[in-house]
Chain A
Amino acid sequence: MKNPCYINGIGAVNAQGIWNDDPFAHITEISNPLTMAMQPSYKELISPAMIRRMSKGIKMGIFASQQALDEAAMDQVDAIITGTGLGCLEDSEKFLKNVLDNDEQFLTPTSFIQSTHNTVGAQIALRLGCKSYNFTYVNGATSFESALLDALMQIESKEANQVLVGGIDEIAGRTFALKQLVHEVKADGAVEKLKDSQSPGVNFGEGGTFFALNTEKRENTYAQILEVSILNKLATEEVVDFVTSFLTRNQLTLADVSAVVIGNNGDLKYDIYYTTFCTLFANQPQIFYKHLVGQSDVASAFGLAAAAFVLKKQIIPKTIQWNAIKLSELKYVLIYNQYLGKDHSLTLLRHVET
């Protein structure tokens, strides 16, 4: 018998600020090509010297992970698993620029040390004194889902009872200037909300989203994670089969799904994947979230937070509903994400009676 995997706590830092009791009530839809996260105060969590040395990715990771643990009333975990598409970009760029600009002279190690992709997971382990399993995934838009699948396997196999899992990505100057050069990110000066997107590319964001997972449910449990599926590539005409075979494997039909969470990001070329996906769920409420946090390789972690929130509250805030279908009882929520037609994932959640 597999152990169940419950979401008992959530933490987040992104363009909307930090995770709270009513995270979708007072929102500002983003419209800038590059939207930074609203950084909270870190002084309660991190020493002033470290605040200065740490990149925002590390800080957002520490903050969001602690928030998730606090909400779940957990103080120790059996595994820390993170996902990040681009890693500790600020420090990578800083060290690389120093290498190139100074002809490999006068270098200091701090930014190199902090440039390693697993820095956030390691720093969380260090501050919790957590000597257990510690993995980091770096696989584009499925970086977070890879971490989540690993977490699910750790819990199912009884290797771990309490797991901290999260996604972190930060915006840094040069890398994003290059992304604008190839029109992956909208050009400077563009002001387009997600649903009004007209120019090539997407609006990017940054942030950290963490989940405290547990084999035991509590009064404040959000939802149960049932399954995660990842596929490196898929043609639009294969989306239907990807979804139906996933549901069949989980002994569900399309009609069993109460609502879906979609990763639309305003990309004129690739949002067709979501349109195709949504044709399967035309009679169910559809939820979107990237208009709040922007695109990033781990934005879908915030999609999971949105799904968990609606399952717990049994309401869908107007600010995140894509279509106009009225809500019935929410039992199963299915999350679909892809980026540039690659790195597809499906995540299935179930409502939990507490």
Chain B
Amino acid sequence: MQNGVAITGMGIVSAIGNTVAENLNSLRNAQKGITQVDNFDTSLRDKVLVGEIKLSNDQMIEKLQLPVDNSMTRTGLLGALAAKQAIVSAQIDMVSNNYRTGLVSSTSVGGMDITEKYFYAYENNPELHRYIASHDAGVSSQHIADYIGLKGFVTTISTACSSAANAIMLGAQLIKSGRLDRVIVGGTDALSKFTLNGFNTLMILSDTYCKPFDQNRKGLNLGEAAAYLILESDEIVQKENKKVLAYLSGYGNANDAFHQTASSENGEGAYLAMKKAFNLAGLSPRDIDYVNAHGTATPNNDLSEGHALIRVFGAQVPAFSSTKAYTGHTLAAAAGIEAVYSILALQNDVIFPNLNFETPMGEFQLLPQTRLLHQSVNHVLSNSFGFGGNCSTLIFSKA
């Protein structure tokens, strides 16, 4: 376990592509996936922009070849698409029982997209009753497990916007403790009227393209996505001669313990999470070639995270960017898709730009990477912070 835990597969669906290759292509070519809301009616349509996946639930059901009477919600459908890709990319045969395999998924909205559609309609529509149990967040994971044919350890984490990072962390701990040989880890979250309006009441949604780390940033664009990684034990990697995409070399979770929704100004939680990740990885800040920042583009997050980065890295903050201007903030899935982007950076020796940046913030001298940069990338640090002061950092290293 010298290098950390091996990552042998990954899958993703996001507003900038329905495969890993499509996402890489969009990232390279500065193609963002931010539009108006098309998949459901909302009075906020003209007021906000989102990172929406342009597939209806019916289209996804068709892609997944599900029976017509399935009870999957959008969160589960997105998750199934991404998890299946990850399994295929790691060339895993789910039918054989050679290895103890688990799924650690994460979500914040669960089945809310269906619940908000039918909340008052169930009494008169018995055919909809199959969806009632699907509201529960954990059911999305059960649906994904059923779809990929997994019988074993399944659980779900929900710590708001750091959820998928924590799912990845738990997966690594399950392998290190010897309880599992292989874990599918990540997160999925669908857009819903509920979350859109929730963030709107907090007045942190931008009415235009979000501008992470910009002096004139106005807030975030919400998004939807799903992404999963396959973590495997060294034993499997050796025995099966598996190709390793990258290693998860460090991780840390800490709590800001400052406010239910806002981050402390000095980024205490973020600082502690990064410190823990470095300790575990046995790396120092100088080793990091790229930081995939949380960078939601809210006034509060970017200020707090910026201070935390300066506290950790000092005057030499490495190349950093937030990819949320491409995808929107995909909540529980965010750390999952950003894990995929971090691995792509390692595999391709490339650093993705922080789109829409114009004016440096007044509080400090931090300039995000604004153009695609080709340079050797050996270690990437990825941050994700959520409501409830939940701060998580992952460090990925070249295979």
CB of B115 within 8 A of CB of A126, answer: no
Question: With A104-B197, A136-B158 known to touch, is A178 a contact of B132 (CB < 8 Å)?
Answer: yes
**Which residues in chain B, 132-187, are within 8 Å of chain A measured between CB atoms?**
132-133, 135-139, 141-142, 145, 150-160, 166, 170, 173-174, 176-177, 179
Assembly CA distance A129 to B269 (angstroms): 12
Q: Is A138 at the interface (CB under 8 A from chain B)?
A: yes
CB of B389 within 8 A of CB of A126, answer: yes
The listed residue (A109, A175, A231) touching B201 by CB distance below 8 A is A109
**Which residues in chain B, 79-116, are within 8 Å of chain A measured between CB atoms?**
103, 107-108, 110, 112, 115-116
Assembly CA distance A134 to B116 (angstroms): 29
How near does chain B come to A174, taking the closest CB pair, in angstroms? 7
Assembly CA distance A125 to B255 (angstroms): 7
List, in ascending order, chain B residues with CB within 8 A of A118's CB.
Answer: 158-160, 386-388, 390
Mask of A106-136 contacts with B, CB within 8 angstroms, 1/0: 0111001111111101110110111111111
Assembly CA distance A143 to B154 (angstroms): 10
Number of chain A residues close to chain B: CB under 8 A: 61
CB of B136 within 8 A of CB of A85, answer: yes
CB of A150 within 8 A of CB of B202, answer: no
Interface centre among A126, A130, A137, A181, by most chain B C-beta atoms within 10 angstroms, is A137
Question: With A157-B176, A181-B132 known to touch, is A135 a contact of B122 (CB < 8 Å)?
Answer: no
Q: Is B123 at the interface (CB under 8 A from chain A)?
A: yes
Q: Is A103 at the interface (CB under 8 A from chain B)?
A: yes
The interface-forming segment of A93-101, A198-206, A209-217 is A93-101
Assembly CA distance A55 to B372 (angstroms): 47
Q: Is B272 at the interface (CB under 8 A from chain A)?
A: yes
Q: Is B364 at the interface (CB under 8 A from chain A)?
A: no
How near does chain A come to B120, taking the closest CB pair, in angstroms? 7
Mask of B245-269 contacts with A, CB within 8 angstroms, 1/0: 0000000011111111100000011
CB of B155 within 8 A of CB of A178, answer: no
Assembly CA distance A119 to B179 (angstroms): 29
Assembly CA distance A146 to B170 (angstroms): 10
Q: Is B42 at the interface (CB under 8 A from chain A)?
A: yes
How near does chain A come to B188, taking the closest CB pair, in angstroms? 13
List, in ascending order, chain B residues with CB within 8 A of A132's CB.
Answer: 254-255
Question: With A116-B108, A131-B269, A182-B132 known to touch, is A232 a contact of B154 (CB < 8 Å)?
Answer: yes
CB of A142 within 8 A of CB of B170, answer: no
CB of A99 within 8 A of CB of B193, answer: yes
Assembly CA distance A343 to B153 (angstroms): 9
Assembly CA distance A122 to B387 (angstroms): 8
Q: Is A17 at the interface (CB under 8 A from chain B)?
A: no
Question: With A116-B160, A117-B158, A135-B157 known to touch, is A125 a contact of B388 (CB < 8 Å)?
Answer: yes
List, in ascending order, chain A residues with CB within 8 A of B360's CB.
Answer: none
List, in ascending order, chain A residues with CB within 8 A of B120's CB.
Answer: 100
Assembly CA distance A150 to B389 (angstroms): 19
Question: With A87-B158, A109-B201, A116-B160 known to touch, is A133 a contact of B108 (CB < 8 Å)?
Answer: no
How near does chain B come to A146, taking the closest CB pair, in angstroms? 4
Mask of A159-192 contacts with B, CB within 8 angstroms, 1/0: 0000000000000001100110110100000000
Determine the residue in chain A with the shortest Cβ distance to B193: A99
Q: Is A70 at the interface (CB under 8 A from chain B)?
A: no
List, in ascending order, chain B residues with CB within 8 A of A184's CB.
Answer: 133
Assembly CA distance A125 to B258 (angstroms): 9
Q: Is B194 at the interface (CB under 8 A from chain A)?
A: yes
Interface centre among B122, B132, B138, by most chain A C-beta atoms within 10 angstroms, is B138
Assembly CA distance A114 to B159 (angstroms): 12
Question: With A137-B156, A157-B177, A230-B154 known to touch, is A122 a contact of B141 (CB < 8 Å)?
Answer: no
Q: Is B43 at the interface (CB under 8 A from chain A)?
A: yes
Number of chain B residues close to chain A: CB under 8 A: 67
Q: Is the interface of A mostly helix, strand, loop or mixed?
A: mixed
How near does chain A come to B5, taking the closest CB pair, in angstroms? 14
The listed residue (A126, A174, A182) touching B119 by CB distance below 8 A is A174
Q: Is A105 at the interface (CB under 8 A from chain B)?
A: yes
CB of A133 within 8 A of CB of B254, answer: yes
How near does chain B come to A51, taking the closest CB pair, in angstroms? 16
Question: With A126-B257, A133-B254, A157-B176 known to touch, is A232 a contact of B158 (CB < 8 Å)?
Answer: no
CB of A109 within 8 A of CB of B202, answer: yes
The listed residue (A109, A126, A157) touching B198 by CB distance below 8 A is A109
CB of B173 within 8 A of CB of A140, answer: no
Assembly CA distance A182 to B133 (angstroms): 9
Assembly CA distance A146 to B150 (angstroms): 17
How near does chain B come to A10, taking the closest CB pair, in angstroms? 23
How near does chain B come to A116, taking the closest CB pair, in angstroms? 5
Q: List 27 A-B contacts (CB under 8 A).
A: A85-B138, A104-B193, A107-B201, A109-B198, A109-B201, A112-B202, A113-B202, A113-B260, A113-B387, A118-B390, A122-B260, A122-B388, A122-B389, A123-B260, A126-B257, A126-B259, A133-B255, A135-B157, A138-B137, A139-B141, A140-B139, A157-B177, A181-B129, A230-B155, A232-B145, A232-B152, A233-B151
Closest 9 CB pairs of A and B: A122-B388, A112-B198, A117-B158, A232-B154, A139-B138, A109-B201, A146-B155, A138-B137, A140-B138
The residues of B with any CB-CB pair to A shorter than 8 Å are 42-44, 103, 107-108, 110, 112, 115-116, 119-120, 122-123, 129, 132-133, 135-139, 141-142, 145, 150-160, 166, 170, 173-174, 176-177, 179, 193-194, 197-198, 200-202, 253-261, 268-269, 272, 386-390
Given contacts A112-B201, A146-B155, A146-B156, 19 further A-B pairs with CB under 8 A are A99-B116, A100-B120, A107-B201, A109-B202, A113-B260, A113-B261, A117-B108, A118-B387, A122-B260, A126-B258, A131-B254, A135-B170, A138-B110, A139-B154, A140-B139, A150-B170, A175-B135, A232-B142, A233-B151
